[in-house]
Amino acid sequence: MIHNTTKQRLQEGQTVVGCFYPYADANLAEYLALLGWDFLVFDGEHGPLEASDFHDLSRAAEVRGVTPIARVATNQTHLILRALDSGAHGVHVPWVNSAEEAEAVVRAVKYQPKGIRGLAGVRAADWGFTEPLADYVVRANRETLVVVHVETAEAVNRIDDLVAVDGVDVLFIGPSDLSHSLGVTGQVNHPAMREALDRVAAAVVGSGTALGIMAKAPAMAEEWRERGATYITTSLNSLFQPDAQRYVAALRSPADAPGH
């Protein structure tokens, strides 16, 4: 029975922190869930995940009290439906560039009368065992989290329209894609990037919609928390790489390095 603690904390004005996870291994996902995250984002855009993987991954998060969220590959109704039916408590939807596209996300996530999501006795509804489907529909419409990505110059230019869309819980900045869209690939401190990020933050913070950000390093996460972001994420790879490299470097003399 879905109870979205991440959405509840956001609505209470708290900061929530999560990690993107791109692999199908539910054991590793459960291990990651034990580290204290509020939510895990199972990455079906840049990872190899299929709709069937979301079932076990959602279980792995739920059993440890962590909110399971699915990032779908594109803004398509059937992809959103299958991710949510598997038990994810919300979705990340990339490449949303207009109010119309954001409204389509909300319609795909929500059941009638708020949307067009198809209804069945699936895992998300506990297969219809724990409450009537009519009650489940009300609960799901209340609890599901809608996260829309802001990651193109077009989305930045239309940020006021995106903020105005009813039903979007988080407007989420993807710095890598945004820098690429602006023609300054990977240069997150470029003036064009700073201007775009400032514009998004100014429009979203205080609007009633949460501001989200992918912050790979702790310093960036802290900076954005101070700027008003309350939905902050990193990635498993960003966590693993620096510590692994430091560990190896500490134990290897120059003569031991590869190529010597």
Specify whether 46 is catalytic. Answer: yes
Give the residues across from 145 on adjacent strands.
90
Give every CB contact of residue 11 below 8 A, 6+ residues apart in sequence: none
Nearest 5°: CA angle at 192, between 184 and 225?
105
Using omega within 30 degrees of 0 as the cis cutoff, is the peptide bond preceding 113 cis?
Answer: yes
Q: How many CB atoms sit inside 10 A of residue 146's CB?
A: 23
Q: Which candidate in 46, 78, 89, 92 is catalytic?
A: 46
Pair type for strands 210-214 and 170-173: parallel
Rounded CA-CA distance 152/36 in Å is: 31
Given a contact cutoff of 8 angstroms between Cβ atoms, the answer to whether 60 and 27 are in contact is yes
**In the structure encoding, which two tokens stand for residue 33, read together?**
């869930």
The dihedral sign for the CA sequence 137, 59, 22, 230: positive
DSSP letter, residue 190: S
Half-sphere exposure of residue 122, counting CA atoms within 13 Å on the CB side? 19
Rounded CA-CA distance 61/31 in Å is: 9
Q: Give the number of residues written for the chain.
A: 260
Catalytic residue list:
46
